[in-house]
Structure 1
Amino acid sequence: MKRTITLLLLLLSLQTFAQCWQSISAGDYHSLAIKNDGTLWAWGRNTSYEIGDGTDVNRNIPKQIGTANNWVYVHAGYSSSYGIKADGTLWVWGANGSGKLGTGNTNWVIATPTQIGTATNWLSVSDGWYHTIALKTDGTLWAWGDNEYGQLGDNTTVDKLTPTQIGSATNWQTIETGIYHSLALKTDGTLWFWGSRFNIYGTSTQNNIPIQIGTDTNWFKLAGGQHHCAAIKTDGTLWTWGENSTGQLGDGTTIYRTTPIQVGTATDWLDVSAGTRYTIATKNNLSLWSWGYNYGGVLGLGTSGNNSDVYIPTQVGTSLDSNKISGGGYHALVINNDGFIRGTGSNVVGQIGDGTYVQKNVYTYISCYPSVLSHENFVINELKIYPNPIIDVLNFSFEKEITAVSIYNLLGQEVITKTVNSNETSINFAGLTAGTYLVKITSGNEIKTVKVIKN
């Protein structure tokens, strides 16, 4: 039976897209990400166990959570965390106030990822301060947690401790939340809202069931901040509404808006994310834009402090490679086309992940760290690599044919590559400086990567 060689010994910073970050989510004070190998990582504040490593210790660099390599979706919320695996199961950890994690109880915290129920068709999740909504792949809408303001949408104000289906519609497509409200798009392009209208519409009224906003049927992307909202239509126009105290709506004013208003006249907006009183977005050319409250330099424009708020969309730098974006509390994360994460803003609990607790007012790169995978099924003795440490020549022998060997330094640069097509071979390291190297051995469709040290 064919075996897949998957043992990765200190696969440290092979700086290629395939070994780096796939998706990100910036929460209130912590961050979650998935690498391209399917492993789950977390960093930032951990006082409510929202990192998921079983401790309450803050982390200022990404830390791998468990050894599973089948994570496909993460959402970092308000001291709570959510993840979905490739098998469609939903996992939660962190703060559980008002039962917002859906475990059936109101225990203060859950320290490590814990599966919710047995359903295998979860698609996405979003949370407010004390409530959570989610979608399944069948287009149904689910909610649980605090319901004081009708934010669950089940036409009551009764809290729910486990996932509860909202209505019977099966055409829900996209969900977002604010502190006490929820938003969603349907597959027909309509926009829906429920929960508290306080600070969003300037009143204290609420809706206990989803209500349609306007009659337009071309809504495409959706973002929910604490008290403001943003959306993109299929024609590429950008729209915002809600609180505007720091210019987060991007219309050049601080006037609250009770209904969506168009931001400028551009028709090339691609994606949008709403943080705490600020907004970030990308255009079709993958340029990055930001506006609103610039606390801690979260806008990434090289400024911070008093009088640094921005009231209209302003381009961040000149790069055209902002592939994925996520606005959190007072920090923002971006994944570039090269698969690396950049972060900016407040960093008091390490939520940027650059190894410091120093705020950044420009986007700063986060390293790619080695993964430990759970599906090791390779007998080490089958592949012999010797001597290690080495002085000049590194030898290889394997029961199968070795097709290629590549050597990388710890900057991820390929320094030697050799086509083999034999069970035995050797590589001369004499021309390389002393240090640690990563050796990738290919045998047909199987790959093994190991660390070697050159003296």
Structure 2
Amino acid sequence: MKNYFFVPVSVSFLLASCGANTSGKSNGSSDMDANTSFKQLSAGTNYVCGIALNGNVKCQGENDYGQLGNGSNSNTENSTQVTNLTNVSFLSASLFNTCFVSNGNAYCAGSNRFGQLGNGSTSDSYTPVQVNSISNIVQISTGTNGYTCALTNSGTVYCWGSLADHSDRLSYKDSPNPIQINSQLSFKNISVGATNACAVTNDGDVYCWQNIDNLPNKVTGISNIKTVSTSGLASCALSNSGTTYCWGDNRYGQLGNGSNNNSNSPVQVLNITNFTTIIASGWNSCGITSDNKTFCWGLGESGQLGNGSNNNSSTPVQVNTSESFSQVSGSQYAFFAVNKNGKIFAWGAWKLNGLNPTINTTPVQINF
């Protein structure tokens, strides 16, 4: 059996609303059980976290480095609340650490080997610690190799953590404190991949950079972009018109242009021109359309395209569900989504309890 070691993808967008709370409890309830409604989720490596409508966060799954933020490093099959954080507006889960935005401040928990918690140290933390020297944060994105970036309400981007390709120990260097990225540019959206990051300027241009240099380079051939999502292997950009463009590794068709040829420049995703949200993972991508349909493309061997098969697809295929999803997050082998009522669904192969993976080729609601 394949060893399902999930590489997460940072969510590059947050929906303003995910429907009504149908749990029968007030949104201010601290008793967050399986019926609690969520407004955002983010999938990490064998764990997942979600923000409830009351602003509290729950996580479940693997927790070796304290990435669940609940004060321990014990794995859990049941959702547990993140400690000492309320009014959370955004979160991003990654390999072994998770970051949050609360009241405009950034907090991170979990592994800190490369300074990715941003608090000036390299000590792990089982509870969220505040990132140094930045405020007015509206979005945060964590990468799988210990690189994290945050976006302020004024359009400034700060990054911290790993500043090297750790396959090359000679170039090893880190920054446990935030560093500003190009003060001449103003951004509105960010996404961090394995060893890179991309951001969209207020003018709709996309810039990407490697964590070893923090020097943004403009992506040519696309404009009028709303959001960007990168995994490190491939990146996708969504235009204001609903057209999606992808570039990078395409061995499984994750660029969505009907081929398996890699491309260093953006190519248009075929057949769908009304996406409202998109996300790129390492080997597959998904998007939600304006008529509430979800499509995925790329690697499908574990059912992660959600269409009832295990086949790859180099063009978007519709996820087989009657649910209307408002947000999606995922990895190479699984995707998690929030429906309009704030309930969480999953498809593909995932394991949140350290046991054998659960495999479903179409979305199923999970107990969260």
For the aligned pair, the TM-score class normalised by the smaller chain equals 0.7 to 0.9
The equivalent residue for 2:95 is 78
Name stretches of at least 5 consecutive residues in structure 2 with no aligned partner.
1-25
1:100 aligns with 2:103: no
The equivalent residue for 1:203 is none
1:335 pairs, out of 338, 342, 353, with 338
The equivalent residue for 1:123 is 138
Matches within 5 A, 1:154-303: 158-169=173-184, 171-195=186-210, 208-214=214-220, 216-303=222-309
| CA distance in structure 2 between the partners assigned to 1:272 and 1:6 by the alignment | 28
| Paired amino acid for 1:94 | G
- Report the TM-score when normalising by structure 2: 0.84
CA distance 1:301–1:105, change in 2 (3 Å) = same
CA distance 1:336–1:6, change in 2 (3 Å) = closer
CA contact under 8 A between 2:133 and 2:178: conserved in structure 1?
no
| Paired amino acid for 1:179 | A
Matches within 5 A, 1:8-23: 8=29, 19-23=36-40
Matches within 5 A, 1:41-52: 41-52=58-69
Name stretches of at least 5 consecutive residues in structure 1 with no aligned partner.
151-155, 197-205, 369-455
CA distance 1:79–1:6, change in 2 (3 Å) = closer
| CA distance in structure 2 between the partners assigned to 1:213 and 1:6 by the alignment | 42
User: What per-residue deviation string (whole Å, max 9, x for no partner) do you get for residues 268-312 of structure 1?
Assistant: 1111011231111111101010111124322222234xxx22221
| CA distance in structure 1 between the partners assigned to 2:32 and 2:161 by the alignment | 40
| CA distance in structure 2 between the partners assigned to 1:323 and 1:312 by the alignment | 21
SS in 1 for 2:358: coil
Larger Rg: 1
CA contact under 8 A between 2:118 and 2:130: conserved in structure 1?
no
| CA distance in structure 2 between the partners assigned to 1:170 and 1:110 by the alignment | 33
How far off its partner does 1:266 sit?
A: 3.1
The equivalent residue for 1:25 is 42
Q: Judge which range, 167-176 or 235-244, deviates more.
A: 167-176
| CA distance in structure 1 between the partners assigned to 2:327 and 2:295 by the alignment | 12
CA distance 1:62–1:329, change in 2 (3 Å) = farther
User: What per-residue deviation string (whole Å, max 9, x for no partner) do you get for residues 399-428 of structure 1?
Assistant: xxxxxxxxxxxxxxxxxxxxxxxxxxxxxx
How far off its partner does 1:61 sit?
A: 3.2
| CA distance in structure 1 between the partners assigned to 2:271 and 2:80 by the alignment | 42
User: What per-residue deviation string (whole Å, max 9, x for no partner) do you get for residues 33-71 of structure 1?
Assistant: 111111111112212221112222222332222364311
| CA distance in structure 1 between the partners assigned to 2:356 and 2:86 by the alignment | 27
CA distance 1:344–1:95, change in 2 (3 Å) = same
Q: Judge which range, 136-145 or 166-175, deviates more.
A: 166-175
Q: Judge which range, 88-97 or 314-323, deviates more.
A: 314-323
SS in 2 for 1:364: strand
CA distance 1:157–1:260, change in 2 (3 Å) = farther
| CA distance in structure 1 between the partners assigned to 2:219 and 2:89 by the alignment | 31
Percent identity over the alignment?
Answer: 25
| CA distance in structure 1 between the partners assigned to 2:33 and 2:47 by the alignment | 23
1:137 aligns with 2:153: yes
1:114 pairs, out of 129, 143, 158, with 129
User: What per-residue deviation string (whole Å, max 9, x for no partner) do you get for residues 123-168 of structure 1?
Assistant: 2111221211111112111111122259xxxxx9853110111221
- Report the TM-score when normalising by structure 1: 0.69
CA contact under 8 A between 1:299 and 1:361: conserved in structure 2?
yes
| CA distance in structure 1 between the partners assigned to 2:172 and 2:240 by the alignment | 34
How far off its partner does 1:344 sit?
A: 1.6
CA contact under 8 A between 1:88 and 1:123: conserved in structure 2?
yes
| CA distance in structure 1 between the partners assigned to 2:163 and 2:27 by the alignment | 46
CA distance 1:168–1:212, change in 2 (3 Å) = same
CA distance 1:172–1:23, change in 2 (3 Å) = same
The equivalent residue for 2:326 is 323
| Paired amino acid for 2:189 | T
User: What per-residue deviation string (whole Å, max 9, x for no partner) do you get for residues 313-347 of structure 1?
Assistant: 00012536111111235221111112111112222
The equivalent residue for 1:427 is none
SS in 1 for 2:302: helix
How far off its partner does 1:358 sit?
A: 2.2
How far off its partner does 1:81 sit?
A: 0.1
CA contact under 8 A between 2:28 and 2:54: conserved in structure 1?
no
| CA distance in structure 1 between the partners assigned to 2:78 and 2:291 by the alignment | 30
Equivalent pairs, count: 338
